[in-house]
Structure 1
Amino acid sequence: MKPRWRWLLLLVVLGCAWASYSRPTYTPPRPPHVRLRLAYLERIMREGSGPGTALGGLIQQNSEWGLFTLSFTTYALASLAEHDPSLRPEAAEYIGLAIQQVLGAPIRQSFAADRPTPVAPGDTLPSSVLYLGHLNLMLGCHRQLVASSPYKALHDTLSARLYRRYEQATEGNLTSYPHLRWVPDNTVALASLALHSHLTGSTYAAAGRRWVALAKGRWLDPATGLLASQTDAQGRVREGPRGSMLGWSIWFLARFDSTFARQQYQRYQAAQSTNLGVLRLYRELPGDYTTGAGDVDSGPLLVGYGIPATAFACADAIALHDWRNAQRLRRVISLGSREIEENGELRYGVRLVDLDVSPLSEALLLWVDGPGPTK
């Protein structure tokens, strides 16, 4: 065989291997695998969030991490149970546990603010849309699984109050902390209102439609068309698009405006990702090639690529049924992680390094793997 034909044959073989390896083969984890992973998260939730617990330790590091561990575990469970009814009893039980922890003092007090939200006579919750949005969506997830959920009254009251606040917020976004309005936190709250409408027939989903109209007119980056990360008290952009914020926001946007979510997903992919064939990576900022520690949102950056930016994009790809991209992104996650199974629990560690992944990362990994709500 002549040398040039050998090279041609090699290219054909490599091309076939590449096409085979990059085909859309992603499938959600099977129930036995999910239950092993849940065993670890269940133990973490039953421990509570007081001093000396895993959740307590997360709260000491960052007041948001305990909340996110519980909320993203909830979203993963609700999604998995929707697609596999055999998981519904466990999902309902564990989501109830998560809600109890979020309502408890250690997490609740982390978001105490100057204008608390009244929910019952003599009882208040923090006013932070970050806290209220996740709590309300968790309440809705429980109600979706348990028609007689004991949290129905709280879900109705909190949804009504959030809706009224959005009606009064001419600037568009509610505050996560005093004077700080983060767009991703508002997408969670708006998703919670859309779910309330779906479950009860309320009109609260209208808040999401009004918000999207504002977003399209005021908060899209002129160069990329991507959604801003933060706005100010007048509704002006305070911080532009970031991968960690976009990947997060798109998944929740899909709960109340799937068309806008898909548009943002496609623009995010075009502006901030690199397709390596069998893998895909996402940058924190478009055109940025920084290598360094990053910040609390981006995590470490390698030539501009970030772990949250890439992992959240995987959740988006799965939720929007982009199976080819989901498989590429899941491979990136698999390359950097290793399974640790012991005492009937499955958790993850960092590959090649003796470093356990925290409960927050476990919750996010389970959420990423979920098929996403169908409605």
Structure 2
Amino acid sequence: MTVIELITSIRQHKKASLAILVLALLLGKIASVPFGMYGVGTFEGERNDILRRRNYLIGKLATTPQKIMEEMPGGMDEQFQGEWAMYSCSMFAVALTNIARIYPEQKEVSLGYVDKLIEIVMSSKIREYDRKRWWGEDALASLEGDHSHVSYLSILAWMMGEYKELGGGNKYDELYSRICYTLNRRMLDAETLNLPTYPDEPIYVPDMLVAVVALSHYAKLNHGSCQDTVNRWIEKAKTDWLDAKTGLLVSFLDNTGAQQIGDMPVKGSYSALNCYYLSLIDKSFAKEQYERLKHYFYQSSPISGLKEYHDRFFLFGMDADAGPIIANLSPSGTAFMVGSATYFGDFDVRRMYFVIE
């Protein structure tokens, strides 16, 4: 046996072992679901389960910027760790607001932790990833300037909107308005209403949707201010930025924000995230996009979940945004799809949550 044949044989054995390990983990998880679901289904059981999950995330995220960064995947560079930390904080802030809606007695608790999460996202440690990508320019120190910083500013504005919705005081009012007016101005100054997340990169449509969500939320809290920009972006999305094959919002636009990049695929994780954001802005458009997502990306067997790609197959892979892709399934895409399935009352899809949780 040659050295090349030996190496090939070792790699094949490693792949087979990994496949067996992953399959064993999946089967073990499926088998454990009935035990883990004991008590869930009653009002009290659901409440206890939600609060248990909240408390777990409080321990992971309502800490310090340094500890949050340490929780992020170690194999990623600082940029992606910063992004994941920021998105984790923002999604948890929204979850805390939703918990307060369902259980009003939790409002003060939610408000306190949303305030804590905003302070963490505003820390120099978390926003460092964005500063480095914008040639050392700090997003909050350059609101009068023209560089985008769209992802960081949108996330922060969205979180401040959640704080206000929970009944927070005027602690962030001035900065909240400045950020939203900055985003609004920069979008209107762009020919296509789209802004780059980073210099010389494509437009990432989910990042732009966060900006639209942030402005839409601000409009609801401030007598319609910035709503016209939201309406204009959504109308252009419906006519100019739909994938010809699937009818879904494209995942990437060229760096002018005008058109889809020919060789860039529509990603399941991005599309599921787009559906979630759209449900906060335009319910009918979100429902249409959800049905298309389900048609092209949802897989019910042998394992339920959302595929990362509808027209190709990956046994194992790692994506900086989607996370680990296992048998072409996207964990993050599946989680976001479950949110839309719940929102639209699609309980057949919703049930897959109990397998992937």
Query: Would you say same fold, with TM above 0.5?
Result: yes
Contact 2:111 2:168 in 1 (8 A): no
Aligned residues: 305
- Measured against aligned partners, the alpha-carbon deviations of 1:299-339 in whole angstroms (never above 9, x if no partner) come to 33333222122111001112233233212x312323xxxxx
Within 1, Cα distance between the matches of 2:158 and 2:309? 29
Contact 1:221 1:240 in 2 (8 A): no
Within 2, Cα distance between the matches of 1:215 and 1:237? 11
1:167 equivalent among 173, 179, 188: 188
Q: How does 1:1-375 map to 2 (within 5 A)?
A: 30-50=46-66, 53-58=67-72, 61=76, 62-112=81-131, 113-114=134-135, 116-117=138-139, 127-180=148-201, 181-234=203-256, 235-238=258-261, 239-276=264-301, 280-327=304-351, 329-334=352-357
Query: In the TM superposition, what is the alpha-carbon distance from 1:236 to its structure 2 partner?
Result: 1.6
Question: What do you get for the CA RMSD once the two structures are aligned?
Answer: 2.7
Within 2, Cα distance between the matches of 1:120 and 1:177? 15
Within 2, Cα distance between the matches of 1:84 and 1:119? 38
Distance 1:100 1:309, change over 3 A: same
Within 2, Cα distance between the matches of 1:37 and 1:244? 22
Within 1, Cα distance between the matches of 2:127 and 2:157? 13
Within 2, Cα distance between the matches of 1:156 and 1:303? 45
Which 5+ residue runs of structure 2 have no aligned equivalent? Answer: 1-40
Distance 1:54 1:164, change over 3 A: closer
Query: In the TM superposition, what is the alpha-carbon distance from 1:101 to its structure 2 partner?
Result: 0.3
Within 2, Cα distance between the matches of 1:283 and 1:199? 37
Within 1, Cα distance between the matches of 2:83 and 2:45? 27
Which 5+ residue runs of structure 1 have no aligned equivalent? Answer: 1-24, 335-375
More strand by share: 1
Within 1, Cα distance between the matches of 2:333 and 2:105? 32
More helix by share: 2
The higher-RCO structure (CA 8 Å, 6+ apart) is 1
What secondary structure, in the 3-state scheme, does the structure 1 residue paired with 2:316 have? Answer: coil
Percent of residue pairs bearing the same amino acid type:
24
Query: In the TM superposition, what is the alpha-carbon distance from 1:48 to its structure 2 partner?
Result: 0.5
Contact 1:26 1:326 in 2 (8 A): no
Within 2, Cα distance between the matches of 1:48 and 1:29? 31
TM-score, normalised via structure 1 length: 0.74
The equivalent of 1:22 in structure 2 is none
- Measured against aligned partners, the alpha-carbon deviations of 1:121-167 in whole angstroms (never above 9, x if no partner) come to 9x999842111111110000000012524111111111111111111
Amino acid at match of 1:79: N
Within 1, Cα distance between the matches of 2:320 and 2:344? 27
Distance 1:125 1:93, change over 3 A: farther
